[in-house]
Structure 1
Amino acid sequence: MNRLEGNIPQNLFHPNLEVFFIHFNKFGGQVPLISNATKLINFEIGNNHFTGKVPDFPSLPHLRSIGLNRNNLGHQKNGDLNFMSSVVNCTNLELFGIEDNNFGGTLPECMCNFSTKLSYVTMGRNQIKGRIPTRIENLVNLQLLGIETNQLVGPIPGSIGKLQKLFGLNFHNNKLSGAIPSSLGNLTSLGELILKSNNLQGRIPSSLGKCKYLVALTLSQNNLTGPIPKEVISLSSLSRFLDLSRNYFTGSIPNEVGKLSNLGYLDISENRLSGKIPNTLGSCESMEYLNLQGNLLQENIPQSFYFLKGIQEIDLSRNNLSGEIPKYLEGEVPTQGVFTNTSAFSAVGNTRLCGGRPQLNLPKCPSSLNKKAKLSTKHKLIVSVVCGLVAIILLALFSVLLSRARKRNAKSTLGSPFGISFLEVSYGDLLKATDGFSSANLIGAGSFGSVYKGILNQEKTLDVAVKVLNLQTSRALKSFIAECKVLKNIKHRNLLKLLTACSSIDFQGNDFKALVYEFMVNASLDEWLHPRQGLNSEEERHLNLIQRINIAIDVANALDYLHRHCHEPIVHSDLKPSNILLDGDMTARVGDFGLARFLMDPSHLFSSHQSSSIGIRGSIGYIAPEYVMGGEISRDGDVYSYGILLLEMFTGKRPTDEMFKDDFNLHNFVKMSLPEKLAHVVDSSLLIGTDQVEEGAATTSDVGDREIDHIEEISINNFQNVPNCRLILNTNLGKCLHSVLKIGISCSKLTSTERMNMGDVVKELLHVKTAYMAAQTENRGDQ
């Protein structure tokens, strides 16, 4: 990651050389010959200007990664991939990346003879032809297979269904044909399936419904037919996107679509779907983008759309819809675009519309309309409804704020060096938004900068959190760059959303860099777990049991997404309560990616070793033991931090508490106390009326303000007099707390290989929550 250029001298490859990383420079010429480096482990020359033919690799028994990506290798003709036959001799190879080059020729069958340890294969964006080899099933440890944007033909081999560890499969933008094999349903670890822009035919196999960890699925721009299987459209794991657009699907949209409660993006446009829009769509609370245009949908817009609280855009155009636009969607008719021609659309029957061209004879919009709209709904919508067959109504409605915003965005976005397009925000805008970075608006400070609350007046008024980088700190700039690089690649309901970034100069001519986020009204988890001293009773904050479990699940979902379901796995590296923010609904959002790293990013692409020698990564108390010893950056490090966080959430004790010294830490404190001394370690607020205080299963919410004469108020002191604390252990509350703490202990084990993965953590916590809620319901029924 420098600006080094020129050719690579051949005498660099010493017999003792193990690691060769020169990616992200300007080296050119031929790929150097690896002659004597028989101990080589990593060979990564990506993101340079190498050209021509790739020489054969010698027998390298220790080689684990080959990264040739993002160069100008190959000549787009046969023979470009001949070097792959020599890679067969690298019997410990785990990572092979050649994407973004000029490789042509046929995909060689010899890749099926690569090391059985091979985990990642990325060959996208070349000119590779031929068929996907059926013997690809030999690569039994394959986790990511990407051969997108090439010229592959023929069917997808059913043998891929035997790759049980596969979590990412990307064949988009090829010329593949035939049916989607039903064997893909056997890939129960699959997180992302991208097959768009091919010539696939037939129906979507209902067996895909068995892929319970799928977060992203796109089959758009194919020739698929038949109904949409309810097994697929009800996959509650889908959170990033479901794109089935531009096919030939028929029938109605299944009511099971309402189970997509975590999905952010749904596109079923340009098909032949008919019938009513299901009311169940209103259950998709996380939906931000919904596109149903270009179908044969009929009747009214469901009133349940009112409950789509996160929606940003809805497109219902070119259907056969009729009736009125629901009142909660109505407002000002724009005067631009299609709305300049009053004969091209009709507003008849929509009595709550206002504004528009004078010829419409609509009432003038009151000046308070925009303000009222902001207060009454979070919806920001583009609704275009067309009654096609009888041409009764061609009606479209835009929110005036969004129409102006989009117009301005088209003119005033700026290209970021990190590949993000942001609405331009100046130093002056942020200065004004934060009242001159007033100390009264200071809501937090960290090692790399300070965070201020602000009110940003752009296309609309936004409450924001502005993180101003302290550029005098040596690593602040790297933190800024890292956070931008990470946040441009990820999107999840449990990750803090970056609204924009500012890289400018202040009024004194000094460099100025800031990140602007959504403002989280309920602040950080740290402030709820450890309230500041001196707060009055009305300001005191307490989290009940279910709130803590929900937050734990939210954070686990976020980490599972980062670790397993991003295109490039990401390690957060600084998980702690102050980096977990809570929105108005107490949904947790993981933030602060200043120390995050891609496990496969350009700065260390395809590296199986990620040294932390640059300094211990993370915050004291949450740092994985292997990092302290100079170990590798890994998902396991995040799991350790999560385990400590989980223990802190349910014990109320910081890992840096003065009671923890030498080898006695929060992990050991909890582990030594379970199960008999459970009540000695859990947060006392969980035992005194905020949740279950059962003999029987009564809760304060059950009895309201009635006098409780048969339940003694529980405290830590009470339990110290109870033999073995069996009272709490035999309650639903005790069983729940015991289970959660065991998960925390498992995640924070000293040895990284013994820790749980975040996917299993999510499953276990959901099981604990479900069991607890079911037991509560049953007990209330008995009473």
Structure 2
Amino acid sequence: MHSWNESIHICNWTGILCGPRYQRVVTLNLWSGGFSGSISLEVGNMSFLRELILYNNSFTGVIPQEIGRLSRLRRLGLSNNSLSGFQFPGCSIEGSSRKNRILLSLIIVVPILTMIFVTLVVIFCLVYKSRYNKNIPQETNSDNENFPQVSYRRLHEATDGFSLANLIGSGTFSDVYKTIMYEKNMPQAVAVKVLKLAVHGADKSFFAECEALRSIRHRNLVKIVTSCSGIDFQGNDFKALIYSYMVNGSLEDRLHQNPLLGPENEAPYSCLNFLQRLNIMIDVAMALDYIHCQCGSPIVHCDLKPSNILFDDDLVAHLGDFDLATFIQHDSSSSHTTSLGIKGTIGYVPPEHRMGSKISTCGDIYSFGILMLESFTGKRPTDSMFCSSLNLHDFVKMAMPHKVMEITDHVLFVTTKEENMTENTQHRGPIEEFLTSIYLIGTACSMKLPRDGLHIKNVIEQLQIVKKTFVETIG
């Protein structure tokens, strides 16, 4: 070591490497340097030394015990010398050995902990999915042929990311979008009903609608095409029902939108004449008869109103929106019902339901009666003219039989034959009789206590008699 030039900084000597921060010797590499003599005891003062490489030299004597104090030493090379003595103490526990043990522990423990964490996450996800699936009615997935699934991505692409340009309706529990979907390369216009799952009760409405529509098929019910239950691109739950699109709008559109303007960007809707309105009421009554009397368990729609009556190409009425549908678990009597609270839309809900009575098929009959009166008078049950002392039912009842023409929607008789009949004095009598018959059925259905109303089969029978007589009269 005394042969090195002391005029040069030690860090620049051959075989010496210093640390960049403190300029202390960290490596002493004298491999095959032709050195001889004994190893200096001062080597123990090189506290920053990490590598001591002295092999292939001619060092003699005893290996200094001071080397044992080098706590940072990682590499020691003394072979091919004439050294002796191996009884120097080991490195400090607080030094390299401790750090090596810590490093080894981390190498072993970290992967094990990672595997345990991943396993727990997978188990949690599986348990959550299992419990979540148990809450879904089995019927929603049990009939894949009648109730196939479509992916969120496909719906997202079909609706241009659920663009407002495709939005055709919005309700408490859902938004509805119009789009075209392809099945076997054949385009089909559909309405995509997207559930607002953030709204309390929306998930229950989804399950109720799935349950109600799973296996029922009828000419006067909106047809469900497919469904979607999955995750959106943000990782949120997503549920949607896809229906055949009803191209001729709803009864709400026909009764209360300006018939000269029609829906935006579409041709204006034509007015509904007497016979068309009568046919619509028969269609709706047939739908109610099916869900009340021809299903395994009677289904109560609970939200019968003009916006839920939709029309196809031929103006055939279809009952839709089973968000609030309720199953009645009994044989044939409507007196034994299940209490599920107040459901429906203001103006169409039976008074006894508003007072907390149980839900029954009678409630749908009441709503149907109000729907009939609204369809022929053109007045909503929530019209500003109605207050606590006057409602649509009483308004019509007070006008019968001599003032029925005055309360009837003025655009109702629009065909040539019907206009001639109303203008011709000799035909005013029969027209008033037809209207009186309609209003009698409507008021009989919308009695204050729904259990006092007509049975749906009686309603259909009476409506068909009115239609038959009307057609025979106008030739």
Structure 1 and Structure 2 fold alike (TM over 0.5): yes
Q: CA deviation at 1:449?
A: 0.8
Opposite residue 156 of structure 2, the aligned amino acid is: L
Q: CA deviation at 1:608?
A: 2.3
Of 606, 611, 618, the match for 2:339: 611
Opposite residue 452 of structure 2, the aligned amino acid is: E
2:177 maps to 452
Opposite residue 736 of structure 1, the aligned amino acid is: F
Cα 1:475–1:599 change in 2 (3 A) is same
Of 563, 576, 585, the match for 2:292: 563
Matched, 1:476 2:202: yes
Provide, for residues 273-305 of structure 1, a one-character-per-residue CA deviation record: whole Å limited to 9, x for no partner: xxxxxxxxxxxxxxxxxxxxxxxxxxxxxxxxx
2:357 maps to 631
Q: CA deviation at 1:480?
A: 0.2
Provide, for residues 196-239 of structure 1, a one-character-per-residue CA deviation record: whole Å limited to 9, x for no partner: xxxxxxxxxxxxxxxxxxxxxxxxxxxxxxxxxxxxxxxxxxxx
Opposite residue 546 of structure 1, the aligned amino acid is: L
Q: CA deviation at 1:775?
A: 1.3
CA distance in 2 between counterparts of 1:692 and 1:682 reads 14
2:320 maps to 591
CA distance in 2 between counterparts of 1:671 and 1:452 reads 40
Of 633, 652, 660, the match for 2:378: 652
Matched, 1:437 2:437: no
Task: Report the secondary structure of 1:467's partner residue.
Answer: strand
Q: CA deviation at 1:567?
A: 1.4
Matched, 1:539 2:268: yes
Q: CA deviation at 1:437?
A: 1.0
CA distance in 2 between counterparts of 1:565 and 1:511 reads 35
CA distance in 1 between counterparts of 2:453 and 2:417 reads 30
Task: Report the secondary structure of 1:504's partner residue.
Answer: strand
Opposite residue 513 of structure 1, the aligned amino acid is: K
- From the two aligned structures, give the one with the greater helix fraction: 2
Of 239, 245, 251, the match for 1:525: 251
Provide, for residues 160-194 of structure 1, a one-character-per-residue CA deviation record: whole Å limited to 9, x for no partner: xxxxxxxxxxxxxxxxxxxxxxxxxxxxxxxxxxx
Opposite residue 750 of structure 1, the aligned amino acid is: K
CA distance in 1 between counterparts of 2:416 and 2:346 reads 31
CA distance in 2 between counterparts of 1:759 and 1:510 reads 45
2:189 maps to 463
Cα 1:635–1:462 change in 2 (3 A) is same
Q: CA deviation at 1:513?
A: 0.4
CA distance in 1 between counterparts of 2:218 and 2:288 reads 10
1:756 maps to 454
Opposite residue 399 of structure 2, the aligned amino acid is: S
CA distance in 2 between counterparts of 1:461 and 1:570 reads 32
Of 423, 426, 430, the match for 2:151: 426
Say if 1:433 and 1:455, in contact at 8 Å, map to a contact too. yes
Opposite residue 574 of structure 1, the aligned amino acid is: D
Matched, 1:730 2:429: yes
CA distance in 1 between counterparts of 2:404 and 2:364 reads 26
Task: Report the secondary structure of 1:686's partner residue.
Answer: coil
CA distance in 1 between counterparts of 2:335 and 2:405 reads 45
Cα 1:424–1:568 change in 2 (3 A) is same
Say if 2:271 and 2:414, in contact at 8 Å, map to a contact too. no
Q: CA deviation at 1:692?
A: 1.4
Aligned positions of 1:656-667 closer than 5 A? 656-667=382-393
C-alpha RMSD of matched pairs (Å): 2.5
Say if 1:612 and 1:627, in contact at 8 Å, map to a contact too. no
Say if 1:545 and 1:691, in contact at 8 Å, map to a contact too. no
Q: Is the deviation greater in 419-428 or in 458-467?
A: 419-428
Cα 1:576–1:536 change in 2 (3 A) is closer
Aligned positions of 1:696-711 closer than 5 A? 697=421, 711=423
Q: CA deviation at 1:570?
A: 0.8
Q: CA deviation at 1:458?
A: 3.2
Cα 1:488–1:525 change in 2 (3 A) is same
Say if 2:377 and 2:407, in contact at 8 Å, map to a contact too. yes
Provide, for residues 26-57 of structure 1, a one-character-per-residue CA deviation record: whole Å limited to 9, x for no partner: xxxxxxxxxxxxxxxxxxxxxxxxxxxxxxxx
CA distance in 2 between counterparts of 1:590 and 1:750 reads 24
Say if 1:451 and 1:468, in contact at 8 Å, map to a contact too. yes
Cα 1:729–1:743 change in 2 (3 A) is farther
Q: Is the deviation greater in 533-542 or in 639-648?
A: 533-542
Q: CA deviation at 1:545?
A: 1.1
Say if 2:140 and 2:211, in contact at 8 Å, map to a contact too. no
Say if 1:433 and 1:457, in contact at 8 Å, map to a contact too. no
Opposite residue 488 of structure 1, the aligned amino acid is: R
Aligned positions of 1:199-210 closer than 5 A? none
CA distance in 1 between counterparts of 2:177 and 2:351 reads 33
2:311 maps to 582
1:217 maps to none
Provide, for residues 501-528 of structure 1, a one-character-per-residue CA deviation record: whole Å limited to 9, x for no partner: 1001111111100000001100111101
CA distance in 1 between counterparts of 2:204 and 2:474 reads 49
Cα 1:425–1:641 change in 2 (3 A) is same
2:33 maps to none
Cα 1:479–1:691 change in 2 (3 A) is farther
1:739 maps to 437
Q: Please, which runs of 5 or more residues in structure 1 have no aligned partner?
A: 1-414, 699-710, 713-725, 778-783
Could you state the TM-score of these two structures normalised by the residue count of structure 2?
0.66
Provide, for residues 515-564 of structure 1, a one-character-per-residue CA deviation record: whole Å limited to 9, x for no partner: 00001100111101111488279624310111111110000000011111
Provide, for residues 341-378 of structure 1, a one-character-per-residue CA deviation record: whole Å limited to 9, x for no partner: xxxxxxxxxxxxxxxxxxxxxxxxxxxxxxxxxxxxxx
Matched, 1:765 2:456: no
Cα 1:444–1:536 change in 2 (3 A) is closer
CA distance in 2 between counterparts of 1:523 and 1:652 reads 17
2:473 maps to 775
Alignment size in residue pairs: 331
Opposite residue 501 of structure 1, the aligned amino acid is: S
Q: CA deviation at 1:433?
A: 1.4
Task: Report the secondary structure of 2:395's partner residue.
Answer: helix
Aligned positions of 1:207-246 closer than 5 A? none
CA distance in 1 between counterparts of 2:259 and 2:272 reads 17
Cα 1:493–1:689 change in 2 (3 A) is closer
Cα 1:758–1:536 change in 2 (3 A) is closer
Q: CA deviation at 1:490?
A: 1.1
Say if 2:362 and 2:453, in contact at 8 Å, map to a contact too. yes
Matched, 1:620 2:318: no
Cα 1:572–1:655 change in 2 (3 A) is same
Larger relative contact order (Cα-Cα within 8 Å, sequence gap ≥ 6) = 2
Q: CA deviation at 1:641?
A: 0.2
Q: CA deviation at 1:741?
A: 1.2
Could you state the TM-score of these two structures normalised by the residue count of structure 1?
0.41
Matched, 1:497 2:223: yes
Aligned positions of 1:13-52 closer than 5 A? none
CA distance in 1 between counterparts of 2:262 and 2:297 reads 46
Provide, for residues 64-97 of structure 1, a one-character-per-residue CA deviation record: whole Å limited to 9, x for no partner: xxxxxxxxxxxxxxxxxxxxxxxxxxxxxxxxxx
Structure with greater Cα Rg: 2
Cα 1:452–1:690 change in 2 (3 A) is farther
Aligned positions of 1:133-532 closer than 5 A? 417-421=140-144, 422-459=147-184, 460-532=186-258
Q: CA deviation at 1:664?
A: 0.8
